């Protein structure tokens, strides 16, 4: 997925780690927009991802990256209801020649 590492828990996509160039160098927190406000208040170094605004982003360049990444991983591990999205089901391809 986008060339990084996705973390799933209980079938939900929780976190995505990427080591590419900005804005894909850091941790993406997979969440619904309805949870952005409370997460941004709790973790002010998070921002909506510049290209994937439905998720929140913690840039690796932040001085607080390691500390906050550990907190976010722990929050996901505790199954905080604000974190995680159910992936959309993939459409099945029909075999050639069928209608």
Tokens of 83: 């974190």
Instruction: Give pLDDT, residue 66.
Output: 97
**Spatial separation of the C-alpha atoms in residues 62 and 91, rounded to whole Å:** 38
Q: Which parts of the chain register pLDDT below 70?
A: 1-2, 92-99
**Spatial separation of the C-alpha atoms in residues 46 and 98, rounded to whole Å:** 48
Instruction: Give pLDDT, residue 20.
Output: 92
Cβ partners under 8 Å of residue 13, min gap 6: 6, 7, 30, 84, 85, 86, 87
Tell me the pairing of strands 12-19 and 25-29.
antiparallel
Question: pTM to 2 decimals?
Answer: 0.84
């Amino acid at each position: 997925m986008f060339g990084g590492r996705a973390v799933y828990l209980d079938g939900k996509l929780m976190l995505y780690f990427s080591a590419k160039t900005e804005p894909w160098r850091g941790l993406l927190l997979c969440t619904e927009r309805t949870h952005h406000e409370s997460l941004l208040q709790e973790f002010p170094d998070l921002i909506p991802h510049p290209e994937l605004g439905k998720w929140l982003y913690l840039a690796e360049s932040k001085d607080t990256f390691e500390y906050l990444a550990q907190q976010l991983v722990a929050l996901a591990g505790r199954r905080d209801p604000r974190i995680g999205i159910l992936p959309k089901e993939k459409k099945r391809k029909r075999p050639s020649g069928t209608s």
